Each structure stands twice: as C-alpha cells, then as structure tokens.
C-alpha cells in the first residue's frame, strides 16, 4: 500500500471519511496512544505537576487524550479541518485541551517560550512532501524547527515521532533541527523489529543533552515478533549451512498443497510420488 504522504496533501487525504475511519479503528487508537505515551515519557516532565504541552499534528485528538490522562494541559494544531472536527466532537466539557488549524510547514504561530514541551505523533514526515514546486522539504522543516525553538521554554524538550520513508529522510529531518540550535538526536525503539520499530526525534536546549536510550525489548505481540524473526533467521542460516532447506520435505509440500485446496485453487492430487526426490541427471 502506498504511503499516505505520496497520495495527497494531508488536508485533502484526511477528508471527513478518512478522518472518521482513522478515529474508529481500535488498532490505530491503541498504536497512537502507545506512541503518545512514549513521547510523554521522553519529555521527562516534572512529576506531580501539570505542564502546558504543544501537540503538533494533533489529528483527531488521540494524543491529546493521552496528555490529559497524564494530567497535562495541551494545545494541538493540525492542517486537516476534518480531523479537527472529529477532535472537537470527541472532547468532553472538562477537557484540558484545545485545537487550532494550521500548517506546521509555515512555522508555528505562537508566542515565545509559552510551552513546557512538545510532542508529535506520525506527522513530521509530511513536511518532506509538497504539491507546490516552490516549496522544498528543507525549507519547510527549517521553518518548523525555527518556530518550535522559539515557542518552547528554555530547559524544555520535544519528542517527535515520525515515519521516515528512507534513512536519508530521517537524517534530513534531524539535521534541520540541529541547524536551528536544538541538541539531541534520533531514538529508534525496537530497531530489530519491522512492525514495532519507531523513530523519535528528541530535542532539547542544554548543550549536555543527548537523546535517551531506545527501547529494545517490545512488549507482548511486538516481543514475540522479534523473537520469531530471530528464530526464522537462525533456521535460514542453518538451512544454508547444510546446503538445503526444510521446504524440500514432504510434510512441507503436503501442507502447501492443503493450503491451496482450502483456497479453492487448482492443485494436483497426492500420490506416492509426491515430494519424492528425483534422481540426479547424468
């Protein structure tokens, strides 16, 4: 499936239908909440104190809900009016958050040093794409990070999760943040897992600040995925070392044929010759 960023600009891609589908998916809700909680953890905020947090690319407010549950006040911005409409509908009367419509690639429209921290979930990579020839990824990223540097209080941090299309894109994003004065760097959680792997750009002001340590042992399903991947790789190495593969065995052939039959695909009948090793040719 093609990446959303390659299909349409975010304000057009996340129309009313897509926004409601996005917010009604239990899988997406859980993923977004987990990522938002990880971003909050990476901010290292003072315990027992309510902070004022900026949520960039807030979408339908899933990450804002995580901020509220953590006891913080938040302001979200997003370019999609449909996403923001869903967010307003989902907010309770006693909500501690608010949202505005804005393109973060134009720079953030906030006063200096007004936020105690910033999080972003699955939004930063959108700055690397544009449907206008006069816009460049580097220019949009630089405007965003310059304005973020201005509106954060000194001593605060930002934790921005994103999905880079290529390693070069991740380097570009991190280098633009560094160029405006931010310290820190990339944190890659679960680097050996294809599904659980997540990129976080962790930024701060202190010259001694370095990116936190990544998570390397995913929980529940993610952990089993890493374990399964490791075992599968070991089996492949063993098969190559022996000069063969378990896929050549009769049990494997019979199992594959049964799968084809269950899928109503044309399959040859089983005989005494099924999967029998042929003699070498002269």
Band of the pLDDT at 264, cuts 50, 70, 90? low
Q: Find the helix packing angle between 62-69 and 26-43, rounded to 10°.
A: 50
Nearest to 62 by CA among 30, 39, 104: 30
pLDDT in tens, 102-111: 999 999 999 9
- The pTM of the full predicted model, rounded to 2 decimals, is 0.74
The span from the CA of 157 to the CA of 164, in Å, is 21
The span from the CA of 78 to the CA of 104, in Å, is 7
Say which CATH topology domain 4-216 has: Rossmann fold (3.40.50)
Q: Report the pLDDT value the prediction gives residue 20, as an integer from 0 to 100.
A: 86
Using an 8 Å Cβ cutoff, are 193 and 216 in contact? no
Q: Say what percent of the chain tops pLDDT 90.
A: 57
Residue 163 burial (CB < 10 Å; 0-12/13-18/19+)? Answer: middle
The span from the CA of 116 to the CA of 228, in Å, is 41
**Of 3-7, 95-99, 225-229, 252-256, minimum mean pLDDT range:** 225-229
Complete edge-to-edge strand list for the sheet that includes strand 152-162: 97-101, 73-78, 52-56, 115-121, 152-162, 198-204, 183-189
């Amino acid at each position: 499936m093609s990446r959303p960023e390659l299909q349409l600009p975010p304000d057009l891609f996340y129309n009313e239908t897509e926004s409601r589908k996005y917010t009604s998916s239990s899988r997406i809700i859980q993923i977004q909440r987990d990522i938002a909680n990880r971003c909050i953890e990476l901010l290292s905020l003072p315990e027992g104190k309510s902070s004022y947090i900026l949520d960039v690319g807030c979408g339908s407010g899933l990450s804002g809900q995580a901020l509220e549950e953590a006891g913080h006040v938040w302001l979200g911005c997003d370019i999609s009016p449909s996403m923001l409409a869903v967010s307003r509908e989902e907010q309770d009367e006693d909500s501690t958050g608010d949202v505005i419509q804005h393109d973060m690639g134009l720079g953030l429209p906030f006063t200096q040093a007004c936020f105690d921290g910033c999080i972003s979930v699955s939004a930063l990579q959108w700055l690397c794409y544009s449907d206008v020839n006069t816009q460049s990824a580097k220019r949009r990223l630089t405007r965003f990070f310059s304005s973020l540097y201005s509106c954060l209080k000194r001593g605060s941090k930002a934790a921005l999760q994103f999905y880079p299309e290529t390693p070069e894109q991740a380097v570009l994003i991190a280098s633009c943040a560094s160029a405006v004065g931010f310290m820190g760097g990339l944190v890659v959680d679960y680097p050996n897992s294809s599904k659980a792997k997540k990129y976080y750009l962790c930024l701060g002001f202190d010259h001694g600040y370095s990116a936190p340590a990544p998570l390397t042992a995913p929980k529940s399903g993610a952990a089993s995925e890493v374990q399964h991947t490791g075992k599968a790789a070991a089996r492949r190495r063993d098969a190559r070392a022996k000069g063969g593969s378990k896929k050549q065995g009769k049990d494997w052939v019979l199992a594959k044929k049964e799968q084809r039959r269950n899928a109503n695909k044309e399959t040859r009948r089983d005989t005494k010759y099924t999967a029998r090793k042929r003699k070498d040719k002269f």
